[in-house]
Amino acid sequence: MARSSVIVIGAGVAGLSCALELAERGLSVEVVERASTLGAASCSWMAGGMLAPWCERASTEPEILSYGIPSIDWWSQRFAGTVRNGSLVVAQPRDLPELARFAARTERYQWLDAARLVELEPDLGGRFRRALLFPDEAHLDPRRALAHLAEVLAIRGVAIKFGIELSAEAADADMVVDCRGLAARDALPDLRGVRGEMVVVRARDVRLSRPVRMLHPRLPLYVVPRADDLFMIGATMIESEQRGPVSVRSAVELMSAAFALHPAFGEAEIVELGADLRPAFPDNLPQVRRDGRIVRANGLFRHGFLLAPWLARAVADAFFTTDIDSETDDADLPQRRRA
């Protein structure tokens, strides 16, 4: 029996994760992407890549924690570049109450004093009296992770066709997974864009082994270390759908916060300033909606890499579940390949 065919529209983290999960479950999958190269038009290209469900819990719904925890294993099993070193949260002495408030809203952390902090991150020595360590968190470089998913898909025979702009209705396949991010607003009118800006710098004199968040009442910031002395500094979160380059205000705020984390960031080279709109539903939680042969997977908001594995599993489950709320009867559902 021929395998049922699935077209995934969009090669961001949602699309590639869904394609992989479906291919792993035996379906014949193809991905189409409107941009000519991976990441060129994806919000996913701008992400920090923190897999930090316990830190996120301090300011989000409990679902982010339950959906997000399994993603650390999902990524580790598929992408060797997943770094499981934990993450740190620090605050300037005047903002220490913020650190206690942060801790009170989450779990699975350890308080560090200055001596223990310096053991873990020598470069932060002498600058912070206390810190929170979230030992079970992880991080990855989103661009390498996406490239790796594309390679794994190619090995599984899943082609990514670039330069094709497709609508779900026009896709010629048994089933369609719409992972167009914010572009899917034509079909998901309650989707909105939340602007995020970030900076990538090269700082040869800073060594960090894990992401560091610095709490601040006005501008909380995080710094994620990457290979080749690169650091991603992020991110603003602005309820605006304005596209366009990073503003001077945001660039100054992000870079001065990094400078406050470590003065050597003052000597760093600015490699990139980037901005995009995160796709979000009103409750800021991701959703999978099925309408006949079309499954729409969206709303990753600021948790793209953290929640894409959950989204991918939910999409695959929707394919293989018969009693979902759907206009399609079971006969239209793809069949698993028979061995």
Ligand X SMILES: Cc1cc2nc3c(=O)[nH]c(=O)nc-3n(C[C@H](O)[C@H](O)[C@H](O)COP(=O)(O)OP(=O)(O)OC[C@H]3O[C@@H](n4cnc5c(N)ncnc54)[C@H](O)[C@@H]3O)c2cc1C
Rule CB under 6 A: which residues touch ligand X? 9-15, 32-35, 41-44, 46-50, 165-166, 179-181, 183, 196-198, 234-235, 276, 278-279, 298, 300-306
Which C-beta is closer to ligand X: that of 184 or that of 333? 184
CB of 115 to ligand X, least distance (A): 29
* Whole-number Å distance between alpha carbons of 40 and 208: 28
Which C-beta is closer to ligand X: that of 43 or that of 120? 43
CB of 331 to ligand X, least distance (A): 28
Which C-beta is closer to ligand X: that of 227 or that of 339? 227
CB of 126 to ligand X, least distance (A): 28
Sign of the alpha-carbon dihedral angle for 266, 259, 220, 147? positive
CB of 211 to ligand X, least distance (A): 8
Cβ atoms within 10 Å, residue 213: 24
- Three-state SS at 102: helix
CB of 100 to ligand X, least distance (A): 24
Please state whether beta strands 221-225 and 212-215 pair in parallel, antiparallel, or not at all (unpaired). Answer: antiparallel
CB of 119 to ligand X, least distance (A): 26
Which C-beta is closer to ligand X: that of 113 or that of 241? 241
CB of 229 to ligand X, least distance (A): 19
Closest Cα to residue 198, out of 69, 333, 75, 49?
Answer: 49
Sign of the alpha-carbon dihedral angle for 279, 283, 287, 291? negative
Closest Cα to residue 29, out of 157, 161, 167?
Answer: 157
Q: Give the DSSP per-residue string, 284-310.
A: S--EEEEETTEEEEE--TT-HHHHHHH
Q: How many residues does the chain have?
A: 339
Backbone dihedral angles phi then psi of residue 130, each to the nearest 5 degrees = -140, 155
CA-based radius of gyration for the chain: 21
Which C-beta is closer to ligand X: that of 114 or that of 164? 164
Q: Are 50 and 145 in contact (CB under 8 A)?
A: no
Which C-beta is closer to ligand X: that of 177 or that of 235? 235
Which C-beta is closer to ligand X: that of 4 or that of 250? 250
